[in-house]
Amino acid sequence: MISKERATAIALHFDEHGKDATCRKFQIPEETLNRYLRAYRKEVSPEDDSDLLVRVAASRQKLADINNGLRKENRESYRLYNSLETVYAEYVSLLKNSPFASFDVPTHNTNSSTEKYGILQLSDLHLNELISPNEASGNMYDFTVASKRLAKLVDEAKRLFRCYGVTKILLAGTGDFINSDRRLSEKLASATSQVRACLLATYLVQQVIIDLAQEFSVSVAMVVGNESRIGDDDFESADVLVANNWDYMIFQQLRILFSGKDVEFIEASNFTKQIVTLDNGFNVLLLHGNLMKGANSDRQMATIVQQYVMQGIPIHMILCGHIHSASIGDYISRSSSLCGANAFSANDLGCISRASQNIYIVNSDMGYHGMKIDLQHTDGYVGYNIIEELERYNVKSALANTRVTIETLN
């Protein structure tokens, strides 16, 4: 005889979980399950037979709806993945076949045991920023000025590298290659879109590398800055989030363009802080500098160095930027910016700054010489090439005396 309690328990479990789960739960075959369900409907609650059927049908429909929803979500995920994969493949294909890719660099045979090293630091380029002379003590900045300042930097650096017998160069990027567009003032002071600016920045830095590579063996390393992050989110140091950055994109685009060429790109394990070890064992720590708090950077740097010393990694040099003020120190050196003074630094902060970048000569005794290259004035320099199709200035920057009038036409 079938127990009323057991029949009720089996029927309710079947209602919630379905046939297979109920058979497993109560260790009964399907025929026995059907017998318990019939007994429940006829003997336990014959008047609720229709209600049970409704609940069973509703339960099955719920499971079907969940399954359909999962299938739809999976289909959309597959479509998104396939779409992104196609876009990425097309982007890489276009990049490799663009005019950017039509170049060659010579191969250099160097003796790593005897040579001196040169380091050229690129920091706070703020490409895409427009600075008018009347808002920053006569300083002016756009892509044309940036291209001239970069050309002057490379020209001066090559002279000094030759004097010291340098044969290998580390191009050290310490962030903020692209200007932020999160604030209204920054949007109004943008030369072009962020995507176009990223491509132009890639093109300009590519020309810097090609220029240096004509005489020296070049390696490239980079960390990202806070102003170059994509979107309005706060700066994060997690690997996934830090890659959401224009600096990261520029580095990866350059790495693709120089694939197969005699230029080394040093991939970072984390793009907020990176240690680059030269062939002679000299360790350079690259960081942007935005994660430091307060004015006494030397004390904070000592704390950072201790983290590596505890891991058995000596730090011989620390390079940073962020503050737009040049400083050459015994262990810590900070580069200024390529853009120079702007309205914020001149008016809000009351700072007096100039456009400059730093270079360093690393000796075999683990010491180094540091020099600031002043780039404020670029008379006589033509500058690197700029792709005009990407440099679409807004009305304010195209003509200084242009006045925009909006009229309603009936």
**pLDDT tens per residue across span 178-206:** 886 554 444 444 445 677 788 889 999 99
Look up residue 349 and give its two tokens.
């902060």
pLDDT confidence band for 114 (50 / 70 / 90): low
Burial (CB count within 10 angstroms: exposed 0-12, middle 13-18, buried 19+), residue 362 = buried
Residue bearing the bigger pLDDT, 343 or 235: 343
pLDDT of 17 higher than 60: yes
Residue with tokens 């276009």: 94
- Closest to 3 measured CA to CA, from 47, 46, 40, 53: 40
pLDDT digits (tens, 9 = 90+) for 134-174: 777 788 999 999 999 999 999 999 999 999 999 999 999 99
pLDDT of residue 270: 81
Cα 33 to chain centroid distance, Å, stands at 60
pLDDT computed for residue 296 by the predictor:
53
pLDDT of residue 398: 42
Q: Kindly report the average pLDDT of the chain as a whole number.
A: 79
- Give residue 401's pLDDT: 42
Give the pLDDT score at 12: 82
Does pLDDT of 230 surpass 80?
no
pTM assigned to the model: 0.71
Measured CA to CA, the distance from residue 177 to residue 227 in angstroms comes to 8
Instruction: Give the pLDDT mean for 348-360.
Output: 83
Q: Which residue has the tokens 């350079």?
A: 284
pLDDT of residue 33: 85
Q: What percent of the chain clears pLDDT 70, i.e. is strictly above it?
A: 69
CA atoms within 13 A on the CB side of 21: 9
pLDDT score recorded for residue 95:
64
Residue-wise pLDDT tens digits, 256-271: 889 899 999 999 888 8
Q: How far apart are CA 400 and CA 70, in angstroms?
A: 57
Give the model's pLDDT for residue 405. Answer: 38
Query: Tens digits of per-residue pLDDT, 46-56?
Result: 555 566 566 66
pLDDT band at 349, cuts 50/70/90? Answer: low
Residue scoring higher pLDDT (116 or 71): 116
Give the pLDDT band of residue 241 (cuts 50, 70, 90): low
Comparison of pLDDT for 285 and 30, the residue scoring more: 285
Q: Is the pLDDT of residue 395 over 60?
A: no
Report pLDDT digits (tens) over 279-320.
889 999 999 987 766 555 667 777 788 888 888 899 999 999
Lowest mean pLDDT among 94-103, 137-146, 337-346, 361-370: 94-103
pLDDT tens digits for range 55-67: 666 666 666 666 6
- pLDDT for 49: 55
What pLDDT, on the 0 to 100 scale, is given for residue 406? Answer: 36
